[in-house]
């Protein structure tokens, strides 16, 4: 898991991941890129991350992938990420394509639902919490 | 004493309190009107592990994190 301040250098990261696994005998490598779209007048999105819980979430996914003979990767931005640049990338390596295709779907969807990351729209230099696009995490409401 | 920290957009300074279970923490947080809009939607971590039981027993020095709704990516 890799965290960066500002937008991701997607080509460098994907290229490096590919190089790292060049001799691993994986038959499939499926990357996912999340790019900030220009909509609703935003200049950028901005992110807060709680790394200790994110690391545990990611470690659990690595174990799940390893049980299938696969590897999951991810990188995410902290702070402001301008429109038309990338804040999140992930990838799965697996011996054959079917496992990777299914894992990237589950991994990205669970990421959206349970990774401890908070998103803000940036408009006129102001950070506005994206409350209407955010999802309560598993177990939410315990103290309410 | 346990420490309660509020993550992301909640924007509230950490609190310290006496509590023997998460139910005690809940009761004290409910007295804070600035948290009314958050508690129903927030998940909870104890020393960075997600928890889901109000009867979870706390010990001195425990750290409780309040995690509001998320949206990564």
Q: What is the pLDDT of residues A51-73, one digit of tens each?
A: 999 999 999 999 999 999 999 99
SS3 for A41-94, per residue? CCCEEEEEECHHHHHHHHHHHHHHHHHCCCEEEEEEEEEEEECCCEEEEEEEEE
Residues in chain A with CB shorter than 8 Å from the CB of B42 are 136, 140-144
Per cent of chain A over pLDDT 70 is 100
Model confidence at A120, in pLDDT bands (50, 70, 90)?
A: very high
Mean pLDDT, range B52-72, rounded to an integer = 97
Question: Nearest residue on chain B to A53, judged by CA atoms?
Answer: B48
Which pLDDT value is given to residue B7? 98
* Minimal C-alpha gap between A97 and chain B (Å): 24
Interface pTM, i.e. ipTM = 0.94
Question: Does B55 lie at the interface with A, CB-CB under 8 angstroms?
Answer: no
Segment A72-117, tens digit of pLDDT: 999 999 999 999 999 999 999 999 999 999 999 999 999 999 999 9
Question: Does A76 lie at the interface with B, CB-CB under 8 angstroms?
Answer: yes
């Amino acid at each position: 898991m890799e965290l960066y301040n500002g937008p991701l250098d997607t080509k460098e990261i994907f290229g490096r991941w590919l190089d790292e696994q060049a001799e691993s005998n994986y038959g499939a490598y499926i990357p996912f890129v999340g790019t900030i779209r220009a909509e609703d007048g935003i200049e950028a999105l901005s992110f807060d991350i709680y790394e200790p819980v994110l690391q545990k979430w990611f470690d659990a996914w690595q174990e799940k992938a390893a049980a299938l003979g696969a590897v999951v990767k991810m990188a995410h931005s902290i702070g402001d990420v301008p429109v038309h640049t990338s804040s999140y990338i992930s990838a799965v390596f697996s011996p054959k394509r079917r496992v990777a295709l299914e894992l990237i779907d589950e991994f990205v969807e669970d990421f959206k639902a349970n990774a401890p990351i908070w998103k803000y729209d940036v408009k006129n230099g102001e950070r506005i919490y994206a409350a209407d696009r955010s999802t309560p995490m598993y177990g939410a409401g315990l103290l309410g | 004493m346990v420490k309660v920290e509020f993550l992301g957009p909640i924007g509230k300074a950490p609190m310290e309190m006496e509590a023997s279970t998460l139910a005690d923490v809940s009761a004290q947080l409910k007295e804070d009107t600035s948290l009314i809009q958050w508690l129903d939607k927030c998940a909870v971590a104890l020393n960075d592990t997600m928890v889901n039981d109000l009867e979870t027993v706390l010990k001195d020095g425990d750290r409780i994190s309040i995690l509001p709704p998320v949206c990564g990516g």
